[in-house]
Structure 1
Amino acid sequence: MTRHSLDSLRSYDPEAIARYYSARPWRVLWRALTIIWGFAGFLLGLQWDRFMGKTASHKAMRAVQLRQLLTRLGPTFIKVGQALSTRPDLIHKDFLEELVKLQDQLPPFPTDQAMALVEAELNQPIAEMFSSVSATPVAAASLGQVYRAQLHTGESVALKVQRPNLLPVLTLDLFLMRWAAGWLSAVLPLNLGHDLRLIVDEFGTKLFEEIDYLNEGRNAEKFAENFRDHPEIKVPRIYWRYTSSRVLTLEWIDGIKMTGTEEIRAAGLEVNEIIRIGVTSGLQQLLEFGFFHADPHPGNLFVMSVDDQEPEVFGRLAYIDFGMMDQLDEQTKETLVDALVHLINQEYQELAMDFVKLGFLAPETDIRPIVPALEAVLGDIMGESVRDFNFKTITDRFSELMFDYPFRVPAKFALIIRSLVTQEGLALSMNPNFKIVEVAYPYVARRLLQGESPQLRRRLLEVLFRDGRFQWQRLENLLRIARTDQSFDLLPTAQLGFQYLLSEEGRYLRRQLLLALTEDDRLHTEEVQRLWGLIKEDLRPERLLSSALGALAEFSLEGAAAFLPTMAPLSALQNALR
């Protein structure tokens, strides 16, 4: 990037931005004075509250004041507030709850400016590209606005246009934030366990990704590819011929906003089924694909009526706006499942180590005092109150924990938290009695029981065995939970399990199952009978025969030889059951 232009800046580069603004001190000074003047009243108010001993009683009022101030300061600060709303390591709970209310809606900029930008970006007159364009935007946000248009070929499209002169505004604010990060933490109620400039850099990186519409188009196509076999999820098509880094043209979605509960019912759709689709697709993004939508607010999710050509689809959920996305690597996905397993098993020492692996705790952190704190915070999450479990409860509890221990929320997990809490809030706005665990638990249980990968099979074993002993009740609970998911079919799962038992990889499980069946010097016929009563309706003879033939098709002689020693104990068990 030259010293005289920001146009060549395609990704966040704090050093290049600093070089640019070092040659323009007057612009830096004017913006700094504007920001300082805006924050002066807020900071003086905080100090006055401390002096008068009214910090606690005035905290809610100051939180509202902060939200309003960030809105007035414009796009960068609106995005800062939204990002901070998912950072319990940086902001106290009272401020978090208010910042969640931040909306990135701003007054639209003039349509003639928007159309001029489209023509400049795409090097064509508007009339040659579109047969019609709405006279005013249908939506206006902090970074851009959207028009409804029609191509000459007849397709209805959404024309998304970036705000003019956005890059100078964002880069100047990022420059000032990074410069101020060193001393601002001493004034605001932030948790200082690390260099705040790293937080600014994380934020700047994601913000630059969000304003690159070419990147958003690629994200949409990747997201669509992940859900290609899921007819319940709709992703709009991107029209690359009419797309640039500042203009995005995509398929127009006719649908009902997720908050339109009455409209959804009037369309003949079941609200709880729509919620199920949303929660399940969110879990798939995190635990299967590792590529997730980080901003699933009501304006980005639409409910579409069932297509006549697809009667098996109960309802279709359309995702739009793919600017804020992130990717989880395989190790992170596996560690997330590990953390879930350790939470189920109430193994808090291992859970603390998972937090280290995930970056919530530094590698050199002494986790010994943290383990009892985790148990105190999470001890009843998987107990009798499990049906009342929600992500908001977890974040509220952790927001207190993070000010007593050296926790830090990595950028990826700030986005994950934002995604989960937003989706849960959306679900609760549609149905206040909705319990996210009633959808999430069956999904996770089904994934563990199906064990499509060696990693998932290993984690299932960790759930089913503790201290070398088989946990009969856990297997029964997993089966009960999984069966509450109407899409769960036990037979294919049983077939996968049978194939695994016959494989070399299943040698350990064969040995452990034999020990489990005869441990404590008795045959566990009562436990086996309970399990059989739970699954016998799904395992009818004709389906069992077909499944067995499929499993045996891959059964080698070596596998048979390895499995034969198990037959005698199993015969004894069969006689006992009779």
Structure 2
Amino acid sequence: MPLLADAVGQSLSTRPDIIGTEITKALSGLHDQIPPFPRTLAMKIFEEELGSPVESFFSYVSEEPVAAASFGQVYRGSTLDGRTVALKVQRPNLHHVVVRDIYIIRLGLGLLQKIAKRKSDLRLYADELGKGLVGELDYSIEAANASKFLDAHSSFSFIYAPKIFPDLSRKRVLTMEWVVGESPTDLLSLSTSSAYSERQKLEAKRRLLDLVSKGVEASLVQLLETGLLHGDPHPGNLRYISSGQIGFLDFGLLCQMEKKHRFAMLAAIVHIVNGDWASLVHALIDMDVVRPGTSIRRITMELENSLGEVEFKDGIPDVKFSRVLGKILSVAIKNHFRMPPYFTLVLRSLASLEGLAVAADPNFKTFEAAYPYVVRKLLTENSAETRKILHLVVLNKQKEFRWERLALFLRVGSTRKAFNRVIASKNESSLDYLPKRSSGVFDTAHLVLRLLPSRDGIVLRKLLMTANGASLIRAMVSKEAIFVRQQLCRVIADVLYHWMTQTFGRGIMATRYGSQVRLTSEADNGELSTSSRLTVPVYDYQSIFRDRRLKVIFSRILDSARKDPVLMLKFYWTTFVMVVTASVRACHRVLVSLSEAMLAPSRFLPRVAISA
């Protein structure tokens, strides 16, 4: 069964952390170095499929295949109108070989089932495998899959899929756009080879880790957004394009996930991060992994015993995805879980990407790379399913806030530039600004105040309307929330400071978070020097006070808290202290800015034009 052995070897070749570096190097050749069949035979198959000689369609076809895989091999060619293409030709007599191998595997699994006395029919795995492999034998299906994948992911600019030439494609021949890029195997080799300089190796490592990071994100997009999964994402089918995109090749096998499975997978990732094993079991039931009638209490205890030892760093599992996967699989095998096709594809994809990253950077963590995407989806997608998951995580049964979890969501989500884009003000010059102080303390208050009035803040607004308002006030006046109150003081000081400078001082240097912003005066005539350009975005917090939706939310929160006079007294006192503290800070900054403006030597020096 050489074809199926190749497929298994390709999967294992991405996991040096499991099988070792030497075996990995030996298996990596399976991706691109499978022995080719003769060119004359390949061209004969092409002519049989299209009914005309190769020369009538192509001005050039390479003498040797540029890649050879289990099911076919690829040539580089040029069409008559000058377009560079990849010409994929299927191996001869392949259908007979695949059917034979699947039949042998099915017999073996049936025998294993009897020996192990398993209740589940293991032969179904062979049937599923055979269904996918036989589908890959028809390149017209792959052409349709490629077009479907391209259409589904066209809105995600970092994902690249080649265009198909339908008029040059048939059942055993596929012609597609030539993708120029580096394979993960090449990048890994370059980053570890002693034949290159340290600078070249570091740059190759950077490109490899960027590819892996985008590969993880692409997997999550397929998993949680489009539901259309690439069925064979091994390194031979991935390319890192110079534009920074990740390119996908080989669309012989796609898997379409049901909507309920997508949201169950999203919930499962969140529950793993939060260590909520009982909720994880319910998510696995929704994913059709845990069989109906299974003891939820027993499975919960086993998952807790298996995963309870996982350490967390900044609220995220500080462990490799493969280790968590291994522990879950051990529980799954013991309790006869089902493994739907989409489930195995997702696990294989993420495990393969992590294997590549670990080879270049042993400290890479898939959860750390993936979780910000999950957080952004929960905080910005206004759907009943995502709201249900978010409420389950950040609210308890009494609808009281779990403040530490919401703070974790906001902090983790803000590490993504995409998350900052959705809450960025239209008049800001920078979209990459991260609300983080020089001390490294995450600015939760700033992010919340930017997100609330924005279009994508609807999820957070609905969350505030649903939650117990008194619990939010109680959390805000607690000792644990002192860092949030400090951040709010800075925000209030910013508002007061900019109001003062705009009202009383024109042309003074306004300092915000340690960076200088020059407020122009009429004397500038609209001309700004390089030093006076806006370097840090100044957010318009006044929009919060003008937003009627937020007024309703804040009124509801206060009405809920008024039932507790002691709590309201603490709230008023805390608010008074914050306003006084912010006012003192704002006045101090105004005095400092006035001093800097008055003493700046550039105010008294004449402008001199210097020519080359």
TM-score range, shorter chain: 0.7 to 0.9
8 Å Cα contact 1:525-1:577 kept in structure 2: no
Question: C-alpha distance in 2, partners of 1:364/1:325?
Answer: 31
Determine the structure 2 residue equivalent to 1:449: 379
Residues 231-278 of structure 1: CA deviation (Å, up to 9, x unaligned):
322211111110112111111112111233375875967334333222
SS in 2 for 1:394: helix
Q: 1:293 aligns with which of 218, 226, 230?
A: 230
Q: Which amino acid counterpart does residue 249 of structure 1 have in structure 2?
A: T
Structure 1 residues 409, 537: closer, same or farther in 2, change over 3 A? farther
2:526 paired with 1:530: no
Of 438, 445, 464, 2:394 maps to 464
Match of 2:262 in 1: 333
Q: 2:49 matched to which residue of 1?
A: 121
Deviation at 1:299, TM superposition (A): 1.3
Whole-angstrom distance in 2 between the partners of 1:538 and 1:333: 38
Alignment of 1:352-501 (within 5 A): 352-381=281-310, 383=312, 386=316, 388-468=318-398, 469-489=400-420, 491=423, 494=448, 497-498=452-453
Q: Is this contact kept in 1: 2:160–2:245, CA < 8 A?
A: yes
CA distance in 1, matches of 2:490, 2:412: 16
SS in structure 2 opposite 1:250? strand
1:427 Cα deviation after fit: 1.7
99-108 or 325-334, which deviates more: 99-108
What does 1:174-189 align with in structure 2 at a 5 Å threshold? Answer: 174-186=102-114
TM superposition shift of 1:109: 1.2
Post-superposition CA distance 1:125-151 (Å, at most 9, x none): 100011011112111111111111110
Q: Determine if the alignment matches structure 1 residue 165 to structure 2 residue 93.
A: yes
Provide the rounded CA distance (Å) in 1 between the counterparts of 2:23 and 2:249: 25
Distance change (3 Å), C-alpha of 1:101 and 1:294: farther
Of 198, 218, 227, 2:144 maps to 218
Amino acid in the other structure paired with 1:362: R
Shift of 1:441: 2.2
- SS of aligned partner of 2:419: coil
Contact 1:257 1:298 in 2 (8 A): yes
Aligned length: 482
Distance 2:487 2:135 in 1: 50
How many percent identity over aligned positions?
33
- How far has the Cα of 1:326 moved from its partner? 1.2
Deviation at 1:443? 1.9
Output the amino acid matched with 2:483.
R
Gaps of 5+ in 2: 192-198, 425-446, 496-537, 562-567, 580-612
Alpha-carbon offset, residue 562 of structure 1: 7.7
Deviation at 1:213, TM superposition (A): 1.6
Distance 1:94 1:192 in 2: 28
Distance in 1 between the 2:404 and 2:38 partners?
64
CA contact (8 A) 1:162 1:247 kept: yes
The SS at the match of 2:364 is coil
Aligned to 1:274: 211
Residue 382 and residue 476 in structure 1: after superposition, are their counterparts in 2 closer, same or farther (change >3 A)? farther
Q: Which moved more, 1:497-506 or 1:170-179?
A: 497-506
Match of 2:133 among 187, 192, 207: 207
CA-based RMSD:
3.8
Checking the alignment, whether the CA contact within 8 Å between 1:391 and 1:421 is kept in structure 2 is yes
How far off is 1:535 after superposition? Answer: 8.1
CA contact (8 A) 1:295 1:422 kept: no
**Counterpart residue type for residue 50 of structure 2:** L
Q: Name the stretch that deviates more: 101-110 or 207-216.
A: 101-110
Name the structure 1 match of 2:156: 230
Deviation at 1:504, TM superposition (A): 11
1:320 aligns with 2:273: no
- Match of 2:600? none
User: Are the aligned partners of 1:130 and 1:150 in contact in 2 as well (CA < 8 Å)?
Assistant: yes
Q: Deviations over 1:158-179 (max 9, x none)?
A: 1011111111221233334435
Partner SS state of residue 467, structure 2: helix
- Give per-residue Cα distances to partners, 1:555-578, cap 9 Å, x unaligned: 5xxx97787444565984744643
Give the structure with higher Rg (CA): 2
What's the CA shift string for 1:44-86, capped at 9, x where partnerless?
xxxxxxxxxxxxxxxxxxxxxxxxxxxxx22245447778999
Q: In 2 relative to 1, CA 546–252 (structure 1 residues): closer, same or farther, beyond 3 Å?
A: farther
User: Where does structure 1 lack aligned partners over 5 or more consecutive residues?
Assistant: 1-72, 87-92, 307-314
Tell me the CA shift for residue 501 of structure 1: 11
- Counterpart Cα distance in 2 of 1:193 and 1:535: 59
Q: Which has the higher contact order (CA 8 A, sep 6+)?
A: 1
Structural mapping, 1:303-314, within 5 Å: 303-306=240-243
Partner of 1:351: 280
In structure 1, distance between residues paired with 2:164 and 2:546: 42
Counting only pairs closer than 5 Å after superposition, residues 506-521 of structure 1 correspond to structure 2 as 509-510=464-465, 512-519=467-474
Q: What is the rounded CA distance, in whole Å, between the counterparts of 1:318 and 1:546 in structure 2?
A: 44
Q: How many angstroms apart in 1 are the aligned matches of 2:275 and 2:294?
A: 21
The one-letter code of the counterpart of 2:92 is P
Letter of the structure 1 residue corresponding to residue 472 of structure 2: L
Query: Distance between the aligned counterparts of 1:502 and 1:443, measured in 2?
Result: 16
Change (3 A) 1:298 1:417: same
SS at 1:160 equivalent:
strand
Counterparts in 2 of 1:534 and 1:146: CA distance versus 1, 3 Å: farther
Q: In the alignment, is the contact (CA less than 8 A) between 1:258 and 1:430 conserved in 2?
A: no
The whole-number CA distance in structure 2 between the counterparts of 1:156 and 1:377 is 52
> Using the alignment, how far apart are the partners of 1:503 and 1:445 within structure 2?
15
Report SS of the residue matched to 1:137.
coil
Among 172, 178, 185, which residue is 1:246 paired with?
A: 172
**Deviating more after overlay: 206-215 vs 195-204:** 206-215
Q: In structure 1, the residue corresponding to 2:63 is in which secondary structure?
A: coil
Q: Are 1:276 and 1:439, in contact at CA under 8 Å, matched by a contact in 2? A: yes
1: distance between equivalents of 2:87 and 2:105?
A: 32
Inter-CA distance 453–116: structure 2 relative to 1 (3 Å threshold): same
Q: Which amino acid aligns with 1:173?
A: D
Report if aligned partners of 1:297, 1:426 keep a CA contact under 8 Å in 2.
Answer: no
**2:394–2:403 Cα contact (<8 Å) kept:** yes
Q: CA deviation at 1:425?
A: 0.8
Report the Cα distance in structure 2 between the residues aligned to 1:266 and 1:345, rounded to whole angstroms: 40
Judge which range, 525-534 or 494-503, deviates more: 494-503
**TM-score, structure 1 normalization:** 0.73
Cα distance in 2 for residues equivalent to 1:497 and 1:509? 10
Q: Between 144-153 and 562-571, report the one with greater CA deviation.
A: 562-571
Which letter does structure 1 place at the counterpart of 2:539? Answer: R
Structure 1 segment 535-546 matched on structure 2, within 5 A: 543-545=539-541
Whole-angstrom CA distance in 2 between matches of 1:551 and 1:392: 47
Q: Secondary structure at the match of 1:256?
A: coil
Question: 1:206 aligns to what SS in structure 2?
Answer: helix
1:62-141 aligned at under 5 Å gives the runs 73-79=1-7, 103=30, 106-141=34-69
Q: 2:124 corresponds to which residue?
A: 198
- Cα–Cα, structure 1 residues 339 and 316, in superposed 2: closer, same or farther, change >3 Å? closer
